[in-house]
Amino acid sequence: AQSVTQLDSHVSVSEGTPVLLRCNYSSSYSPSLFWYVQHPNKGLQLLLKYTSAATLVKGINGFEAEFKKSETSFHLTKPSAHMSDAAEYFCVVSFSNTGNQFYFGTGTSLTVIP
Amino acid sequence: GAVVSQHPSWVICKSGTSVKIECRSLDFQATTMFWYRQFPKQSLMLMATSNEGSKATYEQGVEKDKFLINHASLTLSTLTVTSAHPEDSSFYICSAPLGGRETQYFGPGTRLLVL
């Protein structure tokens, strides 16, 4: 079965400290992986994507993620959290056998403490 | 970049009425569009795949007669919530792919409140 799992429903960090949001997927097909951010009452914004090129992907606002096939993971990181990073983050995957269909993780709510 | 719009952004209606939500790709054509719903503090759940020129494909558990989808053109898909009830209150989001499965653009969402 194909699935995507975000291991933490809520992450809280202090401003200026690193951020780690975890995502794992399960599938025997080649995945494309994405991280989207959703600020309150706003639409989804693409942070970064992996589509079989470089395994370390750099996105907007200082975020990056590394695709690790052996661990079936695509964790999102940022060296130093900013107050404006507080939002809901979704790991999203699409698989080669399901065309354009996206599968969303359950989301991780990031709180940044001043 | 590519833009997807939704209209309306907010709608409040009485129970029993029908509500139509539009999803438009503004500067690209989309033969496929996707409709999601998101309950408060939850993830997006795919409801259906809208296909231009053919019937929509619904996910398991989604009522076809309740949520009518029409992909009228290569830039417009509509979702009609028929005989809306309070439990249909949710945030409805559409998306359209550009360039295969590598890129999807999401609309800003439509918040529906059924009284």
B104–chain A Cβ distance below 8 A for any pair: yes
Report the percentage of chain B scoring pLDDT > 70.
Answer: 95
* Residues A13, A114: Cα–Cα separation, whole Å: 9
* pLDDT at position B40: 81
Identify the closest residue of chain A to B34 by CA–CA distance. A101
A80 reaches B (C-beta below 8 A): no
Which CATH class for the A3-113 domain? mainly beta
Weakly modelled stretches of chain A, pLDDT under 70: 1, 96-100
**3-class SS of residue A61:** helix
Say if CB B17 and CB B112 are below 8 A apart.
no
Return the amino acid letter for B89.
Answer: S
What's the mean pLDDT when you consider all of chain B?
Answer: 91
- What is the spatial distance between Cα A36 and Cα A62, in angstroms, rounded to a whole number? 14
Quote the tokens at residue A108.
């991780």
Tokens, residue B87: 């439990």
Task: Please check whether residue A36 is in contact with residue A42, taking contact to mean a CB–CB distance below 8 angstroms.
Answer: no
Nearest of A101, A91, A96, A103 to residue A3 by alpha carbon? A103
What local confidence, expressed as pLDDT, does residue A98 receive?
66
Subunit contact B104:A102, Cβ cutoff 8 A: yes
pLDDT in tens, B5-37: 999 999 999 999 999 999 999 988 998 999 999
Interface check for B103 against chain A (CB to CB < 8 A): the answer is: yes
- The separation between CA B88 and the C-alpha centre of its own chain, rounded to angstroms, equals 13
* pLDDT tens digits, B61-82: 999 999 999 998 999 999 999 9
Q: In which band, very low, low, confident or very high, does the pLDDT at B42 lie, cut at 50, 70 and 90?
A: confident
Concatenate the DSSP letters of all residues of B3-67 into one string.
-EEEE-SEEEE-TT--EEEEEEESSS--SEEEEEEE-TTS-EEEEEEEETTS--EEPTT--TTTE
Mean pLDDT score across all residues of chain A? 90
The nearest alpha carbon in chain A to B110 belongs to A43
Asked whether the beta carbons of residue A36 and residue B108 sit closer than 8 angstroms, the reply is no
**Tokens 């989207």 -> residue:** A36
